[in-house]
Amino acid sequence: QDPLRPDVPDAVRACQQAGITVRMVTGDNIDTARAIARECGILTEGGLALNGPEFRAMSPQELDAVLPRLQVLARSSPTDKHTLV
């Protein structure tokens, strides 16, 4: 894994303090994504990390249930990003 840029944790924290939900959507594998997200303050206690294929298999009702806790989406596709937004 590449090192984080030094300003990333502060930028994430500033967004969170402003009420912005920060999520990581990446093509990286789930383990790498979790590690990076924890390091920069995106993945927190009680937060959820999912793989794209798992995300894509969810029904609209299941998505409604997990989206409030979703902080990391790994192995994502452009369609996943569109669904998330």
Cβ contacts of 6 within 8 Å, gap of 6 or more: none
Cα 3 from Cα 40, distance rounded (Å): 10
**55-84 per-position pLDDT tens digit:** 999 999 999 999 999 999 999 999 999 999
Alpha carbon distance 12, 24 (integer Å) = 11
Residue of 46, 44, 43 whose CA lies nearest to 73? 43
Quote the pTM value.
0.91
Instruction: Identify the residue whose tokens are 């969170």.
Output: 16
| Residue 29 confidence (pLDDT) above 80 | yes
DSSP state of 20: P
